[in-house]
Chain A
Amino acid sequence: MTVPLEYFVIVAAALFMTGAVGFLIRRNLLVLLMSIELMLNAVNLTLVAFNRQYVGGHAGQIFTFFIIAIAAAEAAVGLAIVLAFFRLRSTVRSDDADLLRN
């Protein structure tokens, strides 16, 4: 008997919670982007685990493939925005991103 499906889902849930808590408590833009990557990875793990349960097709794995592509694009654009913001304000703290205030 193999490792049951629930174990994978629990690990994915713990990963997602870690990423979400990190996104809430940290104020460093780079760490915020890394937390988003953590959450995306947790969702990917869930999709692949459920695809392993329903082996009739590859829907979950195809979906994960596209999520990985989108995550790469998101990281590239997000880091470019962080760089532009750093050039403007010489900081990466998200509290200082208040250009649209007032």
Chain B
Amino acid sequence: MNKVELAYFGLCSLIALLGAVVTVGAKNPIRGAMGLLSTIIGIAGLYLMLAAEFLAAIQLLVYAGAVVILFLFVIMLLGPSAQSKRDARGAVARYVGAAALLVSGLGAMALVMRTKSVTPTALPAVPPQFGTIESIGHELFSTALVPFELSGALLLVAVIGAVAVARGKQVDPTLLPAADAKSSQTSAPTAGQTKEARS
């Protein structure tokens, strides 16, 4: 086994796994988002190793460039209340469930590793044009054309839905007729009161 390749693989997977642990364990969500960023960069490195250059670029663009930034925006929008305090309510059940999952997962992994053949599966040689933008794009626009267009529609619907959900219920009073504006003004304090009463 090539030493350099193995070292690169170890470095990338170490970055990814450490980032994952930080994401899950960090008390501050901003640190969690930074851990997610590190995981994404590590996985992009692994994609490069697996001859998926196009996907490595997409991973960095979409995840590191859009998703993590979106997380950071929301965390900063929420301010200090994005960091929730720990509480003991139901903690035992949660940790018991997580430990059961962890033990069963590790057990399954150990079983698989014990029963597998002695020699690990060597990857075949990469054919030319494998994983490049040209070949992926050719396949996207021929065999996977319908799902591609549908995913475009899905993204459009998701954007509209996100805006509609995040916008809240406030109505611009200048757009309303006079009577409606008055009623919305009177209803606004009651909404505030119910919120206060609830909290």
Contacts and interface: CB of A to CB of B under 8 A. Distances in A.
Interface of A: 1-8, 10-11, 13-15, 17-22, 24-28, 30-31, 33-35, 37-38, 41, 44-45, 48-49, 51-53, 55, 57-58, 61-62, 64-66, 68-77, 79-84, 86-93, 95
Interface in B83-102: 83-84, 87, 89-90, 94-95, 97-98, 101-102
Contacts of B52: 48, 51-52, 61, 64
B102 A31 contact: no
Nearest to A17: B105
B121 A53 contact: yes
Contact of B90 (A51, A73, A95): A95
B154 A58 contact: no
A79 B46 contact: no
Band of interface residues on B = 35 or more
Given A5-B123, A44-B43, A48-B47, A18 B168 contact: no
Contact of B66 (A15, A41, A72, A92): A72
Given A11-B16, A73-B154, A77-B165, 4 more contacts: A3-B1, A17-B101, A44-B59, A61-B136
